[in-house]
Structure 1
Amino acid sequence: MKKMVGLSLTLMLSAAVVLSGCGAKDNGASNGGTAPAPANNASGGAAPSQTFKLGMVTDIGGVNDKSFNQSAWEGLNKLKGNGVEVKYLQSKSDADYVPNLNQFVKDGYTLTWGIGFLMGDQLKTVATQNPDAKLAIIDNVVDAKNVASVTFAENEGAYLVGVVAGLMTKTNKIGFVGGVDIPVIKRFDLGFEAGVKAVNPKAEIVKNYTGAFDKPDLGKAAAATMYNNNVDIIFHAAGATGNGVFNEAKDRVKSGKKVWVIGVDKDQSLEFGDDVTLTSMLKRVDEAVVKVSKEAMEGKFQGGVVQVLGLKENGVGLPDTSKKNVPADVLAKVDEYKQKIIKGEIKVPTAQ
């Protein structure tokens, strides 16, 4: 009997050790930016033997900027599950870039993303110090064999929304609100102006670079000044600062004045509504993130390669929801200019 009791206790203790070992497994949930992979795949079978980890470092705009960073994070989340873990680290200032990037590298992530032009120098430093790590960046070119660089022809997409603004303005005064004055934002600016002028040479374009991507109050103030001066359409390329442009437009519409905003990066009508969003200039950051991440997981990572995504590559454009507020004849004109750009008949101004 004593031997049987001893054997039972041994079995119970062994089971307890196994269970406690399972419960102690870290799923990464201690960090608010983690979206861990489930233990099983979508079909209910066993998880793959290999786990891929994809990390993303935001710029100072933050993951909920309703624009650029959010689009990248949504892209990563499309890959979550079935052996793929995704996680982001948010940067409050540029001093956070290197520590955040290094954390993913130190933890052996399959691929580490740096989101935004402003992170270029810091990502280059981390890549140089960790030649075996794989990194990728959006909106900048980092010359390193272990970095994949993805840029966009923002000027081409901005040209098309410029055509919309030029044909639909009633006051002949159109606004542009930018974030920091860097080449990426300058491409939006120059393309937009060229599109407006192509269809409406007499239109006046008022510009304001706020100097920030994370200050909605500055965007709201810039928009208020423009709307007060008879601007009726504003295109923003300012990240979370642009949220303030939408907030000001909503206030104006509530008071009975009809004004418009042209969104950026995502279909911003889904966030701010059709009553103020004329259209948006899509920048398919999410699809770029998915593409490069899959390449890394499949062993096809293209380090040292620069991918430029424009109209021809379907990297920029207008959302289908544009037809809610943009008349069919204007959209036909947009498509006409789109084809001319793709064929090379129109060279859209750009900035390096």
Structure 2
Amino acid sequence: MQNKLFLLCSALLSFALLAAACSNDDNTDTQDDASDTALISLEQECDAWGGIQAPAGFRVNMVTDIGKIDDGTFNEFAYEGMVAAAECFDIKETGVIETASEADYTANLNTSASENPDVLITVGFLIGTDTLEAANENPDISYIGVDQFHPEYPNNYIGVLFNEHEGGFIAGALAASLSETGVIGVVGGVEIPPVVKFLNGYEAGAKHINPNISVLKVYNESFADPAKGASDARQFIGEGADVVFGAGGPTGSGGIKAAAEAGAFAIGVDQDEYYTTFDGGNAPGSENLVSSAIKRVDLSVFRNIGEAVRDTFSGGAYTLTVDNMGITYAPFHDAAVSPEVAATVERVRAGLADGSIETGICAIDGLFLGENSACD
């Protein structure tokens, strides 16, 4: 199934180099236009499916991770993928349940399943165990679990996985290229494999550029505590960090917002936080939001809904990587990024894509290879 999904978009993908960016408006516009060509749009993805339509009564439901569908994280990105798929495949019936706490996972899944959807999307690593149980109990529902790894999946359950360590590596290379103090930081969420992959990938990417750089890292007990993330970022800045990466939902977003407002460079995650956390350039500190490490959650949701619509849905792991454009980075927008830094970041991305650069991170648990990782 994974190969079929990749072939759907292979004709659409172009690996054009990002144009060099600089601080004047004309060159920034050129850079943004070039980087946008490396991002397959949902409209292009729809065209690739050849106009197939869902049967009458086809229904898609979604249960979010803790948060909302407009929270600027992968909840929102997954929702955008569902909405785009509904429009593309003429799906008339959709529903969303927003999760307030971990204690609500089981009840929310049961409520959503009671509506007899054809597809039920669940978002986040933490809801994965409940999703597996629900999939086993409801074999007639096709489950799409974003960020959910299991050793085995039933035939009606696809676990969408990402090589977050590759996205973190790119962010780290960017941070190290920008840092003047030799100290950078990253505000993480809960210490689970996707977050560990981001944080360790960030460290590895930074040290690929500058082996002597100091990388400050912190995990948090919640993905939904922007005040704590802001406090972490301010502490990092006090310790000399001049670039902060946020990889922890609203907690991480709180961190990069505080960092940017304080004058440090900031790097977002999951989707382009220039348009979410920084309100399209209208929020304070927007000029310091350098880029975002993007996980194309929207594409993964869209594609797997498409598989269900055409009755080719098959359980298993579906992994998005730099190579298949499921992991990438956002345009630099208002940030004053030099042509040299832009070229370095693109060189790193291309190296990850063709295999000439390796992260040194285990794709299963996010630990460094050789340090008792699951890959050793």
- On whether the aligned pair clears a TM of 0.5, the verdict is yes
CA distance in 2 between partners of 1:307 and 1:48 (Å): 22
Give the AA of the match of 1:52.
Answer: F
Is residue 2:257 matched to residue 1:247? yes
Q: What stretches of structure 1 move > 6 A for 4+ residues in a row?
A: none
- DSSP 3-state at the match of 1:86: strand
Is residue 2:94 matched to residue 1:86? yes
- DSSP 3-state at the match of 1:329: helix
Q: Quick one: higher RCO (CA 8 Å, sep 6+), 1 or 2?
A: 2
Give the AA of the match of 1:135.
Answer: Y
Of 157, 171, 176, the residue aligned with 2:181 is: 171
Question: 1:211-263 CA distances to partner (integer Å, 9 max, x unpaired)?
Answer: 210111111111111112221111111101123113323542xxxxx211100
CA distance in 2 between partners of 1:95 and 1:145 (Å): 27
CA distance in 2 between partners of 1:78 and 1:132 (Å): 23
Change (3 A) 1:105 1:340: same
Is residue 2:324 matched to residue 1:313? yes
The structural deviation recorded for 1:344 is: 2.0
Give the AA of the match of 1:172.
Answer: G
Name the counterpart of 2:337. 326
* Contact 1:63 1:90 (8 Å CA) reproduced: yes
The structural deviation recorded for 1:49 is: 6.2
Name the counterpart of 1:299. 311
**Aligned-CA RMSD value:** 1.8
Of 327, 343, 349, the residue aligned with 1:338 is: 349
CA distance in 2 between partners of 1:344 and 1:80 (Å): 36
* Contact 2:290 2:332 (8 Å CA) reproduced: no
Q: How many aligned residue pairs are there? A: 300
Give the AA of the match of 1:318.
Answer: Y
What's the TM-score once normalised by structure 2's chain length? 0.76
Change (3 A) 1:317 1:48: closer
The structural deviation recorded for 1:322 is: 5.3
- DSSP 3-state at the match of 2:61: strand
The structural deviation recorded for 1:96 is: 1.3
Of 203, 210, 230, the residue aligned with 2:240 is: 230
Change (3 A) 1:49 1:80: closer
Of 56, 60, 71, the residue aligned with 1:65 is: 71
Q: Which runs of 5+ in 1 are unaligned?
A: 1-46, 253-257
Name the counterpart of 1:24. none
Q: Which runs of 5+ in 2 are unaligned?
A: 1-52, 366-376
Name the counterpart of 2:56. 50
* Contact 1:279 1:325 (8 Å CA) reproduced: no
The structural deviation recorded for 1:347 is: 2.0
CA distance in 2 between partners of 1:141 and 1:204 (Å): 31
CA distance in 2 between partners of 1:201 and 1:220 (Å): 27
Change (3 A) 1:85 1:234: same
What does residue range 1-352 of structure 1 map to in structure 2 within 5 Å? 50-81=56-87, 82-142=90-150, 143-252=153-262, 258-271=263-276, 272=278, 273=281, 274-303=286-315, 305-321=316-332, 324-348=335-359, 349-350=361-362, 351-352=364-365
* Contact 2:253 2:268 (8 Å CA) reproduced: no
CA distance in 1 between partners of 2:54 and 2:291 (Å): 42
Name the counterpart of 1:10. none
